[in-house]
Structure 1
């Protein structure tokens, strides 16, 4: 159990590195005039052929389709929530707020995962939320809040609201969809299969969104098509598969699962570095440095303390 937890955390941090590409590139696309509808839908259209190659190469397509046929509506609903209601608001927010704001607000998902756990695991309500894990997550969120203090003064109220409220919706949708699909599949599929299955399950949502984009006379730019392909590879395939591998390894342990979800706070650090290199933002001020330290401390507490708990219970 301890080795699974340690490996899961490493995988979680690696996934955060690739997920950070999403925030930086989505903002870059938005600044370049690309519409958020295509930033979101094109990513998932790109993911389908990429994932199909991987799944077919390992001869895992038939088992996936068999599992999907068993509960088609479950796949449709939870994939739409876990991928559609998660990613569309993120790209919408990127059109109105800077990537640091989107990435930092997104960290609410650390607490959101624990809050939706009792809804999913009704029979084990008391075990679903760990007060200790919640405390460590709040330390991370405090760090995120401090990082925003000086930055928030440089944007308008409209940017602040449109750059945060959609992200709050996404922050709850992602862990809800992910955890429900873990229940539905119940270990029958690997991470790549589940990623492809959820991508296919959310396809009606992306098609509908694309139709809306065409009807409002918004078409993707050539640069946007290229950049979303990079997002699809880095975030949609690599990061998502790594994160699903991490959560699959500890899906039976709510405390360990909370720790793995907390690794996603590293996205803020990676996104900050990405903004400095790509978008040429200013170096972090004292508030950002303090916030970064708190984020790192929170992540270390999640990892170290939980490992100790697991060891004692072994």
Structure 2
């Protein structure tokens, strides 16, 4: 349950991304600055944390020793994650971005065969996890059904859904690849800082394009991007990466932790009601929320049951 609860807590802070990105879009801010400013603001805080823990030198050595894996998987895990997310928030309705992002629950499970077990064998897709994740996605679809009454056009799919679906695969892929490469070598704080630094070329390019095409960001966008950086970029990312670190060797538990991100929809809905004054959810939407909660509970129980099965032989041998 500890890993599940940490994952849910991270989803609370991740929800800030969707709420404030939507707010910035409504106030005319460019997605180019929303994306790049978040990672610019993350660096000082992450550097301070890693330095205070006495691990900064070790990280810098690893970055210099093997720069290519850092550049590639940071571009995938951070660049192809947050760039498309902010682009979609600026191009399509907020409900479409928030609901489509939950596809990452299924994406995380489907990516399992790309990784190896500790003994070197290729991992298999945990079917129970896939079933429970499908239940969560069904809840998300029901939750957002009323918002989609206007219909889904090809243009809306290309600018509002497709970028988020790319992000849904990129985020867990980049995270898992870096865990696989640096298990036992670097901790969560080092990995997040390393990936942030390695993704800087992309954010610098986007900020230059933003400066040329739309000018400098407004003071309001800078402040909101700073809040996103602290809440989502630092706190939420560290919590989520820490939770996945705890279960990195168990595909079933890893899928359960990644499924906790579905709670973002609930927190985004509550946040938009408070910040953006959206109306109260209907009975149908509440039913969707119930399905999401049930799916997360089943994931938690599945991981707990597996722990008992693994532990019991060693107890009997004693």
Using structure 2 for the length normalisation, give the TM-score.
Answer: 0.93
Contact 1:130 1:255 in 2 (8 A): yes
How far apart, in 2, do the equivalents of 1:275 and 1:259 lie?
26
Q: Which residue number corresponds to residue 75 of structure 2?
A: 80
How far apart, in 2, do the equivalents of 1:97 and 1:283 lie?
21
Q: Which residue number corresponds to residue 147 of structure 2?
A: 151
TM-fit CA distance, 1:286: 2.2
- Indicate the SS of the match to 1:174: helix
Deviates more, 1:61-70 or 1:243-252: 61-70
Q: Which residue number corresponds to residue 138 of structure 2?
A: 142
What does the per-residue CA deviation read over 1:226-285, in whole Å, with 9 as the maximum and x for residues that have no partner? 100000000000000000100001101111100000000000110010011111001111
Deviates more, 1:53-62 or 1:13-22: 53-62
- Indicate the SS of the match to 2:92: coil
Deviates more, 1:267-276 or 1:179-188: 179-188
Q: Which residue number corresponds to residue 107 of structure 2?
A: 112
Correspondent of 2:2 among 3, 7, 11: 7
Q: Which residue number corresponds to residue 201 of structure 2?
A: 204
Contact 2:87 2:163 in 1 (8 A): yes
Q: Does 1:302 align with 2:304?
A: no
How far apart, in 2, do the equivalents of 1:293 and 1:217 lie?
43
1:222-301 mapped onto 2 (5 Å cutoff): 222-301=219-298
Contact 2:30 2:214 in 1 (8 A): no
Q: Which residue number corresponds to residue 11 of structure 2?
A: 16
Q: Which residue number corresponds to residue 316 of structure 2?
A: none
Q: Which residue number corresponds to residue 170 of structure 2?
A: 173
Contact 1:35 1:218 in 2 (8 A): no
What does the per-residue CA deviation read over 1:70-92, in whole Å, with 9 as the maximum and x for residues that have no partner? 32100000001100110000001
Q: Does 1:182 align with 2:175?
A: no
Correspondent of 1:56 among 51, 56, 61: 51
How far apart, in 1, do the equivalents of 2:142 and 2:245 lie?
32
How far apart, in 1, do the equivalents of 2:152 and 2:168 lie?
23
- Indicate the SS of the match to 2:91: coil
TM-fit CA distance, 1:160: 5.0
Correspondent of 1:94 among 70, 82, 89: 89
How far apart, in 2, do the equivalents of 1:99 and 1:241 lie?
25
Deviates more, 1:26-35 or 1:183-192: 183-192
Q: Which residue number corresponds to residue 193 of structure 1?
A: 190
Name the CA shift for 1:172/1:293 in 2 (closer, same or farther; >3 Å).
same
Contact 1:67 1:185 in 2 (8 A): no
TM-fit CA distance, 1:48: 0.6
Contact 2:140 2:288 in 1 (8 A): yes
How far apart, in 2, do the equivalents of 1:247 and 1:156 lie?
34
How far apart, in 2, do the equivalents of 1:217 and 1:148 lie?
32
What does the per-residue CA deviation read over 1:100-158, in whole Å, with 9 as the maximum and x for residues that have no partner? 32121111111111212212339644x43100000000000000111121101147634
How far apart, in 1, do the equivalents of 2:225 and 2:124 lie?
36
- For structure 2, list consecutive stretches of 5 or more residues without a partner in the other structure: 312-318
Deviates more, 1:110-119 or 1:276-285: 110-119
Q: Which residue number corresponds to residue 103 of structure 1?
A: 98
- Indicate the SS of the match to 2:184: coil
- Total equivalences in the alignment: 308
Using structure 1 for the length normalisation, give the TM-score.
Answer: 0.94
